[in-house]
Structure 1
Amino acid sequence: MAISNLNTFLQEYFSAHHCEILSNHDGILQIQLNEKMDRALMNRPFYWHYIKKMGRDGDPMQLTLITNQEQTEVKGERIHFGSPRLQQILRHLRDNERFTRLFQVVNTNNNTALHPWLVVNMKLSYIGKHNKDEVFSIGLNLINGMMKIDMMEFLQQQDFQMQISDYCYTITPLIKPISGYKRILTVINQYINDQDHKWAKDSLEALQNEIELLKHFYEDSPEEEREQMDKELADLKERYHPKIRVSVINGGIFYMEQM
């Protein structure tokens, strides 16, 4: 159910933001950024301030992202779930494109009904001794309750626009978006329950070991150092105690012909 092809996700992300894909093969994705995406991702505010002050267009950078971890011959950024670059991309999506409402482009001369789909892209974070993220894209038909996973990969194959096409009309949702979102959360929670949570047990064992070491370290310490020990205990519990966090990256209502 999680996005399994990170390379496809990244290609679609940069294409949607009008960046040129220079090459994409063997898990190596080379992108020519435009100015907007260079500003968003490359952390060069002083460069752009200087360039604009000089009245020049600027030179957006290129990115080489490597999703194939076995690839060793090409220089670039290795990117995987949990990597800083992917987290940055997900934050950019979350902060700038939280919600949208789009209509499928339909070329027809007949009255055509468009079904509303609630689409939610979510991040599932496993936090403990070792951290891991998974990204999900789930669509829910707000008329019949049909659910589809890897929804963004499907949507990328369709054409959408802000206005409804001629001769098309929308069907009023029978399922309210908030109810649809709760259904999606139920699926996510079931997915979590079905996982092997050995990682959580390992985190708890590591936490207990660290606590015992810390207490042993402070065993003969004076009373005034106990406050520092309590602080370090709290830090250990925050870092090691296993937890799972579900967060919404973005989403929207997409009106489409019946599948």
Structure 2
Amino acid sequence: MAINLHSFLEDYFTAHHCDILSNREGVLKVQLNEKMDRALMNRPFYWHYIKKMGREGDPMQLTLITNPSSLEEKGERIHFGSPRLQQILNHLKENERYTRLFEVVHTNQNTALHPWLVINLKLSYIGKLKKDEVFSIGLNLLNGIMKTEIMDTLMKKEFLMQISDYCYTITPLIKPKSGYNRILAVINQYIQDLEHDWAKESLEELDKEIELLKHFYEGDQEEDVEQMEKELQGLKERYQPKIELTVINGGIFYLDASNK
């Protein structure tokens, strides 16, 4: 169900109008535009200087390596949980929280558009180690059909903020809030079906660290108890396993009902 990281990155940069210079064997080379350079490359002083000089500027290229076995050296190795991916997810969360778009349909006949609730989410497994998974789920608000990895489908279509001529929308039978709850139910079931060895390992590590801490403070004065309690709380915050669900962005997409 989780998104393929390489496809996600390809879709992300394409959607933000960056040129894909090369895409092979888990290595994605992208020519950023000014907007994305500003968002990702942390060069505010450069852009301030360039604009003050009245020049166009030179956006950087970015090479991302998603294949862990790749021998490519010139590039950033990116994976779920890496700072670069977190930066990209934050950019999506901050700038594109919610949208309402209509599929572009070239027709001279009345054409129905079905409403789809599309949600992109991130699951973070937090414990001894941290792991992230990204999901893209769409729910047809008329018939309840649900599709995973729906962004792969949407990226092949063209959208505008206004509806095409001869097209009309059908009122949802499922309210967006109810649809959102259905999607959450699917995610929760996915979590329940997983093997949670990572959580067991975190708890085992926590027990070991607590024993070491208690041994370290053994026989100390009463005034040291408060310090030990602080450190104990820090250990629990670090190792206590938990799963966090974050909505990256989402929206209502009206899709041509004749396209399956």
The two structures have a TM-score, normalised by structure 1, of: 0.97
**C-alpha separation in 1, matches of 2:121 and 2:150:** 12
Deviation sequence 1:17-73 (CA, Å, 0-9, x none): 111111111111111111111111111112222222222222111111001111123
- Bigger mean CA deviation after superposition, 59-68 or 223-232: 223-232
Aligned to 2:164: 165
**C-alpha separation in 2, matches of 1:73 and 1:86:** 19
Deviation sequence 1:79-114 (CA, Å, 0-9, x none): 011111001000000000011101111111211111
Aligned to 2:222: 223
State the SS of the aligned residue for 2:248: strand
**C-alpha separation in 1, matches of 2:208 and 2:73:** 41
Alignment map for 1:95-244 (pairs within 5 Å): 95-244=94-243
Deviation at 1:115, TM superposition (A): 0.6
**C-alpha separation in 2, matches of 1:90 and 1:195:** 24
**C-alpha separation in 2, matches of 1:53 and 1:163:** 36
Deviation at 1:158, TM superposition (A): 1.2
Aligned to 2:41: 42
Deviation at 1:180, TM superposition (A): 0.2
Kindly provide the amino acid, as one letter, of the partner of residue 74 in structure 1: E
**C-alpha separation in 2, matches of 1:50 and 1:229:** 51
Deviation at 1:236, TM superposition (A): 0.6
Aligned to 2:2: 2
Kindly provide the amino acid, as one letter, of the partner of residue 170 in structure 1: T
Deviation at 1:188, TM superposition (A): 0.2
Aligned to 2:31: 32
State the SS of the aligned residue for 1:65: strand
**C-alpha separation in 1, matches of 2:58 and 2:243:** 41
Deviation at 1:123, TM superposition (A): 0.2
Kindly provide the amino acid, as one letter, of the partner of residue 122 in structure 2: K
Deviation at 1:196, TM superposition (A): 0.1
State the SS of the aligned residue for 2:171: coil
**C-alpha separation in 1, matches of 2:123 and 2:72:** 32
Aligned to 1:57: 56
Kindly provide the amino acid, as one letter, of the partner of residue 28 in structure 1: V
Aligned to 1:67: 66
State the SS of the aligned residue for 1:15: helix
Runs of 4+ in 1 over 3 A off after TM superposition: none
**C-alpha separation in 2, matches of 1:101 and 1:35:** 25
**C-alpha separation in 1, matches of 2:71 and 2:199:** 32
**C-alpha separation in 2, matches of 1:255 and 1:47:** 40
State the SS of the aligned residue for 1:18: coil
**C-alpha separation in 2, matches of 1:10 and 1:86:** 9
State the SS of the aligned residue for 1:80: coil
Aligned to 1:91: 90
**C-alpha separation in 2, matches of 1:217 and 1:7:** 46
**Identical residues among aligned pairs (%):** 74
The two structures have a TM-score, normalised by structure 2, of: 0.97
Structure 1: state its 5+ residue gaps: none
Deviation sequence 1:209-241 (CA, Å, 0-9, x none): 101100111112222222211111111100100
The count of corresponding residues between Structure 1 and Structure 2 is 258
**C-alpha separation in 1, matches of 2:40 and 2:159:** 26
**C-alpha separation in 1, matches of 2:156 and 2:207:** 49
